[in-house]
Structure 1
Amino acid sequence: MQIKVATWNINSVRLRIDQVIQFLTEQQPDVLGLQEIKCVEEQFPYQPFRDIGYEFIEVKGQKGYHGAATVSKLPMERLPTSFCPLDHARHVSTRVIAGDQDFEFHNFYVPAGGDIADPVVNDKFAHKLEFLENMRCYFEERFATGDAQQILVGDFNIAPHEHDVWGHKQLLKVVSHTPMEVEILNTLLKTHDFTDTSRLFAGDEEKLYSWWSYRAKDIMKSNRGRRLDHIWVSPALKPAVEAMGKAGHEIHVPCRTWHAKPSDHVPMTQVLDLTAK
C-alpha cells in the first residue's frame, strides 16, 4: 500500500486557496499539512477541500497569523498535544488510518525566531528554542511508549545542512542556519533516529531549497534559497521511504513562480510504501 504525504507553508490559505486546490488536483497526496494559514477555524475554506475528496480536516487557527491545518483523504483523529509555550496556533497532530495500518502525522510551524540569534536579548529566539525543546520532550515520551509510527512535516524554520542554504558561510550568523539551531534540530533528529527524507537520497553537495525571499527580484536566477521545510519519518517507516527510492521525494520548486502572488515556500511530497519492512 502506497501513500503520499505533503507539506506546504501556504502563507494564507484563503488568499491562495486556488493554488492549493491546483496542487492537490495535480499531485493527489493522501495527506497535506499546511502551515501559516492565517485564519481562525471558522474562516478556514473547508468546502473546496471536501469538493475534491479531502473530507477529513483538522485546523488549529489564529486570527491574522500563524495557524496549521491538516487535510486528508484518509480518516484521521486529533491527538491532544501542546508544543507552543506561548499557545500560538503552530501545530496539528493526528492519527491517520491507512487501511489496516495507522501512523501519527505531526504538522509543525516552528517559530521563525526573529533576527538576533541570542535567547538572552531576543525573546523570539528564546521562544523558538523552547518550542524545539518541547518537541524533543514529546517525542522522547512517544518513543518510550513504543508508539514509533511517526511522520513529522512542516516549516521547521531551520535549514540544517550546509547545502540547505545558498551560502553556508554567509548565513552562519543568520537565524535559521546558526550552529545553535542546527545542533538542536540535529539532536532531535538523531536522538530518535528520524530520517530526513529530503537528504536520504540526495548527495552531500546537492543544493536543496524550499523557500525563497519575496525580496528577490528574479528568484530563480539568483536562487538564494533555503530548505526550511521538512518531512521526517521514524525508524519504523524508514523502509517505506527507502522502498520508493529518490523518485518518491519531491520539492515542487515550480510552485514558487506558479502565480503572480505565490507563497514564499513551495510544497514538498513523499511517497511511502507501507508494505515495506
Structure 2
Amino acid sequence: MAALKIASWNINSVRARIGIVEQFLTTENPDILCLQETKAADDAFPAQAFHKMGYVHQRLHGQRMHHGVAILSRIPFRDASDACWRYDWQDNGEARHVGVWLEAGFRLENVYVPAGGDVPDPAVNPKFAQKLAFVERMVDWSRCLSEPTLVVGDFNIAPLECDVWSHKQLLDVVSHTPVEVELLGRMQAAHDWVDLGRHFYPAPARLHTWWSYRSPDWTVNDRGRRLDHMWASPALAAKATAHTVHESCRNWLKPSDHVPLVTEFEV
C-alpha cells in the first residue's frame, strides 16, 4: 500500500495567484493538484513554475481569460482507456474538463461546471440552461463508467441544506435551487458516487468551500457555500483515509474565492 494525496482548487486565475499556489504546494505537498478556472491558454500557463516544484507531469486544457482546467502531478499518468481526456460536457468548446488514468489504478477527472448566471430559469437564462445540460451529460457519463474513478472540481452546486449559510434564503439562488440539487442527486445515484466531503464530515456539519468577494470580511457573517467536491467510486472511496478543506487559504494574500480540498488515499 502506498499513500497518495490529491488536491483540487478553483484558483480563479493561476497566473494572478501563482504565489499562493506555490505556498500551498510547499505547505501541503500533494502528489497531484487539480486546478479549475485557470484563465490561461495552454501556451500561457505557468508550466515552468510547477515543473520547478516537481510537478513535471502536466495535462492542460485552457482558454484565454476564461474557464480552464489543469492536472499537475509528481507521478506519471496516461490517457484513460477511452482516450477521452477532454469531454465537452458544455457542448460549446469551453475548456471545462481534463482527465487522466493514474498508475494507482483509477481515473482522475477534473471538472469545472458552469456557474449558470443569476436567474434560475432555463427558459429566460441560457447560461442556466447550459449548466443543467452540462450536468445532465455528466449523469449519462456517470452511468456508463466501468472503471474506478475520482471526479473532483468546482461543481457550482451546494446540494445539502447544511452546505450553505442559509438554506431558506438561497433556495431561489443559482447553486442551491431544487432543480440543481435534484440533478446533482441523479448524477450521484448514476454511479453510486461517494461524496468524500460528507463521508468524512457527515451532515449537518458545517462544510464550506466558497465565500463571495462581495463581503469585505468573509469571516464576519460566514456566508459560505460548499460548491467544490471530490466524489469517488465506491471501491475507491474505501481507500480514502482523510479529507481536508483548507479554509485558512481564504485569508491568504490575493486569495481565490474558493479554497482547496485534499483527499488522501492508501492505494
1-side partners of 2:23 and 2:200: how far apart? 28
What secondary structure sits across from 1:169 in the alignment? helix
Are 1:253 and 2:254 counterparts? no
Corresponding residue of 1:270: 263
Are 1:113 and 2:112 counterparts? no
What secondary structure sits across from 1:61 in the alignment? strand
- CA shift for structure 1 position 129: 0.8
2-side partners of 1:202 and 1:263: how far apart? 23
Corresponding residue of 1:130: 133
Corresponding residue of 1:8: 9
Corresponding residue of 2:68: 67
Are 1:177 and 2:176 counterparts? yes
Corresponding residue of 1:217: 216
2:106 maps to which of 103, 107, 112: 103
What secondary structure sits across from 2:244 in the alignment? strand
- Please tell me whether the aligned partners of residues 142 and 190 of structure 2 are also in contact (alpha carbons under 8 angstroms): no
2-side partners of 1:214 and 1:169: how far apart? 22
1-side partners of 2:141 and 2:190: how far apart? 12
- CA shift for structure 1 position 249: 0.8
Are 1:88 and 2:88 counterparts? no
Corresponding residue of 1:198: 197
CA shift digits 1:96-116 (9 cap, x unpaired): 22xxx3211100000000011
1-side partners of 2:118 and 2:184: how far apart? 18
2-side partners of 1:142 and 1:192: how far apart? 7
Q: What amino acid is the match of 1:93?
A: G
**Percent of residue pairs identical:** 48
Give the CA RMSD over aligned residues.
1.0
What secondary structure sits across from 1:92 in the alignment? strand
Are 1:157 and 2:156 counterparts? yes
5+ residue gaps, structure 1, are none
5+ residue gaps, structure 2, are none
- CA shift for structure 1 position 52: 1.1
What secondary structure sits across from 1:22 in the alignment? helix
1-side partners of 2:219 and 2:46: how far apart? 31
Q: What amino acid is the match of 2:121?
A: D
- CA shift for structure 1 position 14: 0.5
- CA shift for structure 1 position 205: 2.1
Number of equivalences: 261
Q: What amino acid is the match of 1:267?
A: P
What secondary structure sits across from 2:169 in the alignment? coil
1-side partners of 2:67 and 2:237: how far apart? 30
1-side partners of 2:44 and 2:5: how far apart? 27
Large movers: runs of 4+ above 3 Å:
none
TM-score (norm 1): 0.92
